[in-house]
Copies of this chain bind each other. A is one copy, B any other.
């Protein structure tokens, strides 16, 4: 295991310290929980809370800030945060206008966020939850019933966050989050596995000439393995699967995210984007905005995912609204 860390069992604590020390103008850690909140609590708006296992940075702590999240709960590596940690996050950021939980579909997360919701309701905090399931690769997998939630979640943070910032009610913020979920699709691939520090060994193995198509962000099996192909061939497969799953007509607009899983250089992500852009343009689909970078990573896995979000005028306007967070800025 070749990692730049200290004690493998203290990775989460060290990381949260380094993250909050880097961005004190944006975020701080709660004393009593592995929860990152805005340095200045937002008042008089619906609060947004997300989170999940760590190892997906900048998700989700990097998205805490104006126009996106109010709190991010950080579980251990690839491990759902406990209900009480989520509950602490809700208590810290709720302003009386209610809190929306944005949960990636992963059985542990769904259960624990739901329990936290119940705990909050017992203290008369109004909480709603949405579950993101954008990954078109497989139905049901190792840790998930139904489709997995992956990088499309960042569009939920952005758009629901903008709605909350503009004064939307809990019902309205939840509705727009669900609209994003209905209209966002992703699919990924990997060329190398990753190692959970405390485990010390790779979560799966791939031959030197092999890739896994459709794997999850924790290394859950995808649809199949095959010999590594060209960037264009891989991208064509992923984008075709996405477009098979959601009807996007000629002239409609989308946002695109080409997301690196961690070890894939930006250069390669741009090469992928070239093909994504060409495929969508060939179909007469208009690309309103493209995001290329690392948004939802998998420890040190190499690979990428493509996300396509179908836009209407409301989603477009909210996507374009100002966001100011450590990892996502819209000016």
Interface residues in A96-117 (C-beta closer than 8 Å to B):
none
Beta-carbon contact of B6 and A228 below 8 Å: no
Minimum CB–CB distance from A160 to chain B (whole Å) comes to 21
Interface SS majority for chain A: mixed
Q: Which of A11, A270, A294, A300 has the most CB of B within 10 A?
A: A270
Q: Which of A6, A264, A271 has the most CB of B within 10 A?
A: A271
Q: Known: A11-B271, A21-B277. Contact between A264 and B228, CB under 8 A?
A: no
Minimum CB–CB distance from A314 to chain B (whole Å) comes to 21
* Chain B, Cβ-Cβ closest to A62: B266
Stretch at the interface among A166-174, A229-237, A242-250: A229-237
Beta-carbon contact of A271 and B18 below 8 Å: yes
Stretch at the interface among A52-60, A87-95, A125-133, A145-153: A52-60
Number of copies: 2
A297 at the interface (CB under 8 A from B): yes
Beta-carbon contact of B4 and A274 below 8 Å: no
Minimum CB–CB distance from A142 to chain B (whole Å) comes to 22
Beyond A4-B191, A21-B273, A62-B266, 17 extra complex contacts between A and B, CB < 8 Å: A2-B191, A3-B268, A4-B234, A4-B268, A5-B230, A7-B230, A15-B274, A19-B273, A21-B277, A22-B258, A22-B273, A22-B290, A22-B291, A55-B265, A263-B300, A265-B299, A331-B331
Interface residues in chain A, defined as those with a beta carbon under 8 Å from any beta carbon in chain B: 2-7, 11, 14-19, 21-23, 54-55, 57-58, 62, 191-192, 208-209, 228, 230-232, 234, 258, 262-275, 277, 290-292, 294, 297, 299-300, 302-304, 322, 324, 329, 331
